[in-house]
A and B are shown apart, each in its own frame.
Chain A
Amino acid sequence: MTGAASAVFLLDMKGRVLVWRDYRGDVSSAQAERFFSKLMDGETDPSSHEPVVYDDGVTYLFIQYNNVYVMTASRQNCNAASLLLFLHRVVDVFKHYFEELEEESLRDNFVVVYELLDEMMDFGYPQYTEAKILSEFIKTDAYKIEMTTRPPMAVTNAVSWRMEGIKYKKNEVFLDVVESVNILVNSNSQLVRSDVVGALKMRTYLSGMPECKLGLNDRVLLEAQGRATKGKAIDLDDIKFHQCVRLARFENDRTISFIPPDGAFDLMTYRLSTQVRPLIWVEAQVERHSRSRVEYMVKARSQFKERSTATNVEIELPVPSDATTPAVRTSMGSAVYAPEREALLWKIKSFPGGKEYMLRAKFGLPSIAAEETLPEKRPPIRVKFEIPYFTVSGIQVRYLKIIEKSGYQALPWVRYITMAGEYELRMI
């Protein structure tokens, strides 16, 4: 049940080792080759390979980022979830350090890479992955390092995500409530599934060690406090908190209390799986005239209140890969053919609630076709949009209290926005 990684490898796209760190002395650098040949073994394209690869007693867990494979090798029954997540965190830390993680940036910073790998994992056990705090004592610019550098208290503290002694002239907090709407509509125009994933994104610029308390219109909390809900309270399905939030306290009395990290982070995410009416509905009628042309008639309808307006709407309509000579008319916005995406992109800058717009398009098709009729790829219609000042869930931040022992007044700013997440409407 316990188990640790034996080594962490950073490989280029050809499987060559850029940097590797051996933690347990039971694997060698040759493991990279074995992993890579196993990865290339399959008929499938490596990017669609399972992230767990087994070969001769060694398990490789890997992720790909840009032109780099980040991989661990292990001989034990290690915690796969933890190690894969750790690899993602390693990527985050490197991104924080080098702005972009790619082959070149690793080579350019291999000394720091080694130092970080030494600090983030010990004997194959993940240790510490807070990029901000790490950069307090592992720096890229060597001249800044003086011998007085000590591990920040945060590394071992209960509050492992925030340094002490932070100072701001103006103490401010920005809170963005962002809701992504995911929907899946099948080819019979039935809404198969829909959910809303919300995130409270915070940017804090606060001095000292501020104690924060966030109040939401959470039905469970309000009812527990015996307040009248007046239909404003909401049910959140599954809430996930940043590690700074005291989970035991939340479990007890639904209070969201925390000492925030400095800067930007996701305070919480939540999910709402109640049926949501698709905010923008798209219907496409397709007329295929085999070997000559294909015609589309697309209707897009906004199904939210008139006082809200969707912005930056983009409807991606898939078309055959061999389509040519587009002829398009729209009743609103503009449409461009994007052959590299095998799609027609219909963009509408501003789409008020309760409106319906149309698009008609015609494409030519080649008169000759391959003998064998393989099934075509049938991507769904995809939609992107943003609706500011609006949330599907009706979530409201009732208060954000900030108390610091120096007694300063901090200003919280709250914004709401809804946007399309995985918004797919399958075509016939």
Chain B
Amino acid sequence: MAFLDIKNVRIAGMSTAVPKRVVHNNDALKACGEEDNSKYIEQIGIIERRESLELTVSDLQVMSAERMLVDLGWEKDSVDAILCVSLTPDYPLPVNACLIQDRLGLSKECYAQDICLGCSGWVYGLSVLSSIMRDGNIKRGLLLTGDGRMTWGKGRNALQFGHAGCVTALEYAPGDEGFKFNFGTDGSGFDVVIMPQSGMRKMEYDEELIKRFDDPFMQHSMEAEMKEKEFLSFCINSVPKTINELCEHYNIDYKNCDYLVLHQANKSINQHIVEKLDVAQEKVISSFEHFGNTLSASIPITITTQLKGKIEGKNTSFICCGFGVGLSWGSVSFSTKDIVISDLIEVDDNQFENLTWV
């Protein structure tokens, strides 16, 4: 059983950057070539999403981190660790954490690594970063999550996903209650959400791929895809289960938390989970309506956009759960106090056009 209880670390702040470009799903519907999907848009509850074909996730995370450091008043050389969670790094090698250490101007003494996870990534990232900070050798760390430039093909899957880069700033805080986690994995569902031709397993460019690649209306194997029925089935079973296990193990009543923040899969999935958990509606916050599913950014984007101005300075308890591609999931219980939440940053497509990359 993967239960972790990590004390002496707290969330000092959160910040989110999204592309300025808004894609309205009603417009995107026409482009995805399928008819009569208006009912589908209603069911997923996603009105609009942010998308950029120019900005990578590191661009968004750098913007988000710059603002976070200013808002917290943290000197750059006081950050001892960065952990980047993404499925869409700028390059498979080197890892984004190294690029971002330099782009942010952080110290060369900095601990930096990537984690390759999607929708469960924020919870996983939180566990890894807080673990290395719990004994106080590292006092300040940044957890960077999100995805950019990811393509979900031509089908209606594409209507669900948005781009975002978030920062969750962690601080060593002796005596703080920290975080309580529960994790799980089911790799037998590896193909439920998959980008089939994206790694070393399948590298040949066959005729079928080339044909599809050139056709703007055909899904091809270098794009991500999701098996919706299997995904739904997984979500509505695993999520209530992991939250119940977490709460039983640590003797927490999730119905007493101030906020339940689920990964933002879509309206119908999340509603079903909430009903199953029987949590009061006012404890549940969501952002999928305007940002879609932003993978490992979805929990922090929801907190930053929905709770800014409402929880700073107050003791606020959270239950959060990330779940998805892997299949992989994690739930966490924690409280915030004196959290700093930055304003939402909207990044122009040409923000970094003067930077040259290999």
Q: Do A and B bind each other?
A: no
